[in-house]
């Protein structure tokens, strides 16, 4: 099963800490298409998610066979990751899901992991938040097995600065907490200075994807919030100010589900074909570097 199908069809849409759920957006597919290209199977391999957040990416990798360990500094995010794992196991008891999550400050190293013990490290949308990102990169290099890979994504500073996120209008003011942003050459140079070989460098999410996100994300966020409300889940993410509309959403749930299904089957495939990137995109809003340990 392709990673994006695991993301949409296996992890329950009531997931905590992330608003992706039932409504598909092209911005979600491009990362996973590249992962299908480089890391199609995880059976027998160990992966560390460095800054795992609510664990959605970690769980997607785990459901493709990886044994996964995730770390994040925020206790709340680790709670979300563990609950998302619990929901997924409950919904699919027949599937193998080997994932553990721990609270830890990455800038204190990764003493829990031994040298050359990991096949893959995921370092996605994290490096821009760290003062000590170079020491974290060196720790990743230490724990990777020879031939192991690290996957790094971060906003492209040339397209991200002075922009608002597509979902910011829904959430209100949003603090990015970015310490340092990079261009592609700078990011690749940092990877090489950490003792890793750059196996791939490129872009995700070409600028036109932002236009789709601006239209789609507000609906994703609202449906996710109402879906959680319908399930009695209280999450910090979501639009709780629309709570008075929850009974109407519940009443119209079959109709809303049919509309979302029609969009996903009829409209989304056209958006996907229009935005699916080659591995040599000339630019994009997200940088992607895959480094390997010699």
86-96 average pLDDT score: 96
Check which CATH number belongs to the domain holding 258 and give it.
3.40.50.150
269-286 average pLDDT score: 83
pTM: 0.92
Residue 207's pLDDT is: 81
For residue 234, name the pLDDT band (cuts at 50, 70, 90): confident
Structural domain span for residue 182: 3-292
What is the 3 state secondary structure string of the chain?
CCHHHHHHHCCCCCCCCCCCCCCCCHHHHHHHHHHHHHCCCCCCCEEEEECCCCCHHHHHHHCCCCEEEEEECCHHHHHHHHHHHHHHHHHCCCCCCCEEEEECCHHHCCCCCCCCCEEEEEEECCHHHCCCHHHHHHHHHHHEEEEEEEEEEEEEHHHHCCCCCCCHHHHCCCCCCCCCCECHHHHHHHHHHCCCEEEEEEEECCCHHHHHHHHHHHHHHHHHHHHHHHCCCCCCCCCHHHHHHHHHHHHCHHHHHHHHHHHHHHHHHHHHHHHCCCCCCCCCCEEEEEEECC
In total, how many domains does the chain have? Answer: 1
Residue 155's pLDDT is: 92
In the chain, pLDDT over 70 holds for what percent of residues? 91
Residue 153's pLDDT is: 97
Residue 239's pLDDT is: 52
Confidence check: pLDDT of 172 > 90 = no
The better pLDDT of the pair 270, 243 is held by: 270
In the chain, pLDDT over 90 holds for what percent of residues? 70
For residue 161, name the pLDDT band (cuts at 50, 70, 90): low
The better pLDDT of the pair 210, 251 is held by: 251
Confidence check: pLDDT of 288 > 90 = yes
């Amino acid at each position: 099963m392709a990673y994006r199908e695991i993301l949409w069809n296996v992890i329950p849409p009531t997931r905590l800490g992330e608003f992706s759920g039932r409504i598909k957006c092209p911005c979600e597919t491009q990362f996973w298409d590249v992962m299908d290209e480089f890391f199609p199977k995880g059976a027998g391999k160990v992966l560390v998610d460095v800054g795992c957040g609510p664990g959605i990416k970690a769980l997607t990798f785990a459901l493709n066979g990886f044994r996964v360990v995730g770390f994040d500094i925020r206790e709340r995010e680790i709670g979300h990751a563990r609950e998302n794992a619990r929901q997924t196991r409950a919904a699919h008891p027949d599937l193998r899901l080997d994932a553990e999550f721990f609270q830890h400050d990455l800038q204190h190293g990764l003493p829990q992991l031994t040298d050359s013990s990991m096949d893959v490290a995921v370092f996605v949308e994290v490096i821009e938040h760290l003062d000590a990102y170079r020491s974290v990169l060196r720790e990743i290099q230490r724990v990777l097995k020879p031939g192991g890979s690290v996957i790094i994504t971060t906003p492209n500073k040339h397209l991200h600065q002075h922009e608002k996120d597509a979902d910011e209008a829904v959430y209100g003011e949003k603090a990015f907490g970015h310490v340092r942003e990079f261009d592609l050459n700078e990011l690749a140079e940092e990877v090489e200075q950490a003792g890793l070989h750059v196996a791939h460098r490129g872009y995700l999410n070409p600028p036109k994807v932002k236009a789709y996100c601006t239209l789609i994300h507000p609906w994703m966020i609202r449906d996710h919030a109402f879906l959680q409300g319908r399930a009695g889940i209280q999450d910090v993410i979501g639009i709780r100010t629309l709570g008075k509309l929850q009974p109407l959403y519940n009443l119209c749930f079959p109709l809303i589900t049919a509309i979302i299904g029609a969009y996903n089957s009829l409209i989304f495939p056209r958006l996907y074909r229009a935005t699916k990137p080659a591995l040599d995109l000339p630019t994009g809003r997200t940088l992607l570097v895959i480094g390997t340990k010699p």
